[in-house]
Amino acid sequence: MATVRLADYRPAPFTIEHTQLLFQLHADHTVVDAAFQLVPAGAAEAAPWEFLGEQLELLSIELDGELLAAEAYRLEPGKLVLLAPPEAACCLRTRVKIQPQTNTSLEGLYVSGGLFTTQCEAEGFRRITFHPDRPDLLSRFRVRIEADQASCPVLLSNGNCLETGVIPGEPGRHYAVWDDPFPKPSYLFALVAGALEEVRDQFVTCSGRTVQLRIHVEPGDAPFTAHAMASLKRSMAWDERRYGLEYDLEEFNLVAVRHFNMGAMENKSLNIFNSKLVLADAETATDAELERIESVIGHEYFHNWTGNRITCRDWFQLSLKEGLTVFRDASFTADLHSPEVKRIDDVALLRNTQFREDAGPTAHPIQPDHYQAIDNFYTTTIYEKGSEVIRVLHTLLGEETFMRGMALYVSRHDGTAATCQDFVQAMEDAAEQAWAAGAALPRFDFQQFRRWYSQAGTPQLQIERHWDGDAGTLRLSVRQSTPATPGQPQKEPVVIPLVLGLVGQGGDPLPLQLPGEHAKDVAAATLPAEWGSASRLFVIDRAEQDLLFVGLEAHSHPPAVSLPRGFSAPVRVAMERSSNELLHLLACDSESFARWDAGQVLLRQALLERASGAINDELEEGLVAAFERILLEGDLGDSYRSALMAFPGLPELEDAALAQNGTVDPPALFEAVLALRTRLGDELQGPLETVLASCRNQWQQHWPEGVGDRDLTATIWSWRVAAGDAGVRAEAAAAVSGPSMTLARAGLRALQSIDSPERNAALQAFHDRWQEKPVILDAWFGLEAATPFGDGVERVRQLMDHPRFDPAAPNSLRAVLGGFAGNVSQFHALDGSGYRFMAEQISALDQRNPITASRMAKVFSRWQSYGSLRSERMLEALKQLSATPLSPNSREVVDQCLQLA
């Protein structure tokens, strides 16, 4: 498969002023008639005019109304080439026949449960009609859809609906014409046709325009759209308030479909969503799902400016829209809910997914410079690290200058296809202005900052402490390095804002007094208003740097070092800190992130020790005492208290074990988690019961109220169930039949590892209650597949034969296969049966849906980490997968993994 390179980017040899599409939808085929007004780009190199096409049957082709002679074009695999490119503006018209009804890839136009729908990003439009299908070609689209009136009463596309009516001479068929006044790339085109129920609302924009809001769902699902609609309105208001960005069309449509490869898609004015991210209320979705729905609805809506109005020049710029839009949706959630907990959730996600990706065979920079299948690059690096890098800019520049940079970016690039470089340039210009005006902002080199875009791998800060007790001086020696990643053996230092504080013996924040300006190699520091006086921001931009604090109390204990406050950059920080110092921070650090992180370091340590067969009793006693205080510290906020007690995820623990021991034993880590949970549940019985009693009073509150109480309940249930509390076990099981999905799922999670009659009965009750609702039943499939005992492979095979299992729905596949891959004892079975089963499933899935299959194939990316026996078995499974016919998507991932062999 060909490698696409950033260095090979050339502008297209023509522009497409107008695009007219006619879709004739039929049950057994669709005809697409496309007319493009093409204008030669003039100065561009004389390149052949190529129109990409996949699985299209060409019916006819005309240029300016004349049928094109056979020698004037060539049909090659995957493309149509005009042999004598026109020298003047012209109209190219093609008619093709496609088969959406048998399209299982869920790319291009396909049918999901009787509904015609599209997914064009990144390269799906070429499955609809011949087209250059590149994001830098913006065109005005007019679309006419013709379909059967009975099966497709609703016909939607982008923009405004101009006209609808019946088709004379074609009884039972009707049409709609849609016009989108905003030029857009092909990947933002969308069409939906089917029997849908509509829920309407309105939004009045800041300039007083009324926008019609419509959510379209399968008949019967309308009662579950209120949360989505409210989220949409909150998103629209927030983008006006925070970014001054207003919606620009008269209507906004949102459609929920069951068969969808990812979460949602930001097509201009016609956002299409995986139904699991629309249909929800407190009875049918958990608090976390409700928050996620709100944030994804926000994310897709925010793309209207960061993605649609300003789009990407090429797919190497994907993080331009994705990183930025994740940054925006994270601020949205933080503003609406708890900023502390949102930050913690985001960092936990980053550490459990992105750090792992950055350390493995598929590592890539946020602006990759080559790819084979772009679909493989919708990664946590592009999205989450991309967002963190924007946050780094925000931290360095402060809110005011950052927003000035945003405004510059929008005003310069609105209506165009831009690059990451354009974005950073706007920020640099805003920074230059601020620096010139004498703003108290740290200085840094933007050229160096840009390395964040080109270097893969997670930078590491190694910090050594030197305490001079006689002088009351603390020196922190910081060394920065980034590990080698595939294709990038050497790394240069990047610009890292490090925010830190010092905490005294009594828990008081200590004044951060620096020596006079110039001590050599001492990093400059500033005091951004956002952080208050107890923290300082240092710019770490060299391989080695010292931070020096003076005027601390002499002849006393060294102060506790609290860092990285706010997780001020996507880096790993390693610093020798004693358990006592970390326990002290966990008890009283005034900065919420660093306080949580101190607990995480301790928990990681305790769990790693248990996994290697030892129990660090002193450390665990310290944790018991710390959690006891936290449990009783009522004014902390329940969600935050629950976050403080949450264990690091298994991927993060694997990562830490690998760094420490050079190998990982996942079942041992899993057992360690269960054992520590049991100990905490046992030793903290009293305080846990007290807190649980007060949580119960809040259970019935509706999201976002009561979230913290339900979070804490979930933690307490899982600890107390592990400790063998029969009463709590019964309470957790009973929640399955109660009114709150959050508690029902918390109950099931608490019972998950306990092979007991209550567990089986609770799962059965959940199944029976929700079997008619596929979105909810997926959670049951996931839990069943993750059952940590019995014959896992056999169980998963049975699940896939379950009458409600829908093999065409990526959600169900992800629930079952993803649940199994996260089932450490089964997936990592020493005989390799779990790995073989997974390889077999991925290979079969790849035939139908390469996008979902290649994502799944990444479960093998850590094959080298798991000790010789497992590594050998996993490598065998990878080779088994590699020996089957694979799509280019899966081939790229499998080859990347095998490169290490």
Catalytic residues: 300
Taking CB under 6 A as the criterion, which residues in 725-784 touch ligand B3K?
none
- Cβ closest to ligand B3K, residue 265 vs residue 716: 265
Q: HEC string of 347-391?
A: HHHHHHHHHHHHCCCCCCCCCCCEECCHHHHCCHHHHHHHHHHHH
Query: Of Zn ion, ligand B3K, none, which one sits near residue 345, judging by CB under 5 to 8 A according to partner kind?
Result: none
Cβ partners under 8 Å of residue 131, min gap 6: 34, 36, 51, 52, 53, 125, 186
- Cα–Cα dist 891/874, whole Å: 17
Q: HEC string of 538-592?
A: EEECCCEEEEEEECCCCCCCCCEEECCHHHCCCCEEEECCCHHHHHHHHHHCCCH
Query: Of Zn ion, ligand B3K, none, which one sits near residue 265, judging by CB under 5 to 8 A according to partner kind?
Result: ligand B3K
Per-residue interface string for the shown chain with ligand B3K, residues 238-267, x marking contact by CB under 6 A: ------------------------x-xxx-
Shortest separation between residue 744's beta carbon and Zn ion, angstroms? 30
Shortest separation between residue 843's beta carbon and Zn ion, angstroms? 29
- Cβ closest to ligand B3K, residue 24 vs residue 376: 376
Shortest separation between residue 378's beta carbon and Zn ion, angstroms? 9
What is the maximum span of the chain, computed from C-alpha positions, in angstroms?
Answer: 97
Query: Of ligand B3K, Zn ion, none, which one sits near residue 291, judging by CB under 5 to 8 A according to partner kind?
Result: none
- Cα–Cα dist 395/325, whole Å: 17
Question: Does the footprint of ligand B3K cover residue 382 (CB under 6 A)?
Answer: no
Strand pairing class (270-274; 251-257)? parallel
- Cβ closest to Zn ion, residue 106 vs residue 676: 106
- Cβ closest to Zn ion, residue 325 vs residue 354: 325
Q: How many of the other CB atoms lie within 10 Å of CB of 739?
A: 11
- Which part of the chain contacts Zn ion (CB under 5 A), choosing from 44-52, 137-145, 316-324, 633-641? 316-324
Per-residue interface string for the shown chain with ligand B3K, residues 271-300, x marking contact by CB under 6 A: ----------------------------xx
Query: Of ligand B3K, Zn ion, none, which one sits near residue 620, judging by CB under 5 to 8 A according to partner kind?
Result: none
Shortest separation between residue 812's beta carbon and Zn ion, angstroms? 23
Query: Of Zn ion, ligand B3K, none, which one sits near residue 581, judging by CB under 5 to 8 A according to partner kind?
Result: none
**Phi, psi dihedral angles at 117 (to 5 degrees):** -150, 165
Q: Is the dihedral angle over the CA atoms 437, 442, 445, 450 positive or is it negative? A: negative
Q: Determine the residue with CB nearest ligand B3K.
A: 121
Strand pairing class (264-265; 173-184)? unpaired
Q: On the CB side of 709, how many CA atoms lie within 13 Å of its CA?
A: 18
Length of the chain: 901
Cβ partners under 8 Å of residue 438, min gap 6: none
Taking CB under 5 A as the criterion, which residues in 233-262 touch Zn ion?
none
Taking CB under 6 A as the criterion, which residues in 101-130 touch ligand B3K?
121-122
Helices (H) and strands (E) in the chain, counts: 30, 32
- Cβ closest to ligand B3K, residue 664 vs residue 851: 851
- Consecutive H or E run containing 143: strand 139-148
Taking CB under 5 A as the criterion, which residues in 317-346 touch Zn ion?
322, 325
Query: Of ligand B3K, Zn ion, none, which one sits near residue 378, judging by CB under 5 to 8 A according to partner kind?
Result: ligand B3K
Could you give the C-alpha distances from 526 to 397, 552, 594, in angstroms and in order?
11, 19, 19
Taking CB under 6 A as the criterion, which residues in 341-380 touch ligand B3K?
375, 378
Per-residue interface string for the shown chain with ligand B3K, residues 849-878, x marking contact by CB under 6 A: --x---------------------------
Shortest separation between residue 416's beta carbon and ligand B3K, angstroms? 18
Per-residue interface string for the shown chain with ligand B3K, residues 203-242, x marking contact by CB under 6 A: ----------------------------------------
Strand pairing class (173-184; 66-67)? unpaired
Query: Of ligand B3K, Zn ion, none, which one sits near residue 375, judging by CB under 5 to 8 A according to partner kind?
Result: ligand B3K
Query: Of ligand B3K, Zn ion, none, which one sits near residue 340, judging by CB under 5 to 8 A according to partner kind?
Result: none
Question: Does the footprint of ligand B3K cover residue 322 (CB under 6 A)?
Answer: yes
The answer to whether 583 touches 534, Cβ cutoff 8 Å, is: no
The answer to whether 273 touches 261, Cβ cutoff 8 Å, is: no
* Residue of 147, 138, 51, 49 lying closest to 96 (CA atoms): 51
- Cβ closest to ligand B3K, residue 539 vs residue 851: 851
The amino acid at residue 538 is F
Taking CB under 6 A as the criterion, which residues in 300-319 touch ligand B3K?
300, 303
Per-residue interface string for the shown chain with Zn ion, residues 617-656, x marking contact by CB under 5 A: ----------------------------------------
- Cα–Cα dist 621/607, whole Å: 13
DSSP assignment of 790-821, as one string? S-HHHHHHHHHHSTT--TT-HHHHIIIIIHHH
Residues binding ligand B3K (CB under 6 A): 121-122, 262, 264-266, 299-300, 303, 322, 375, 378, 851
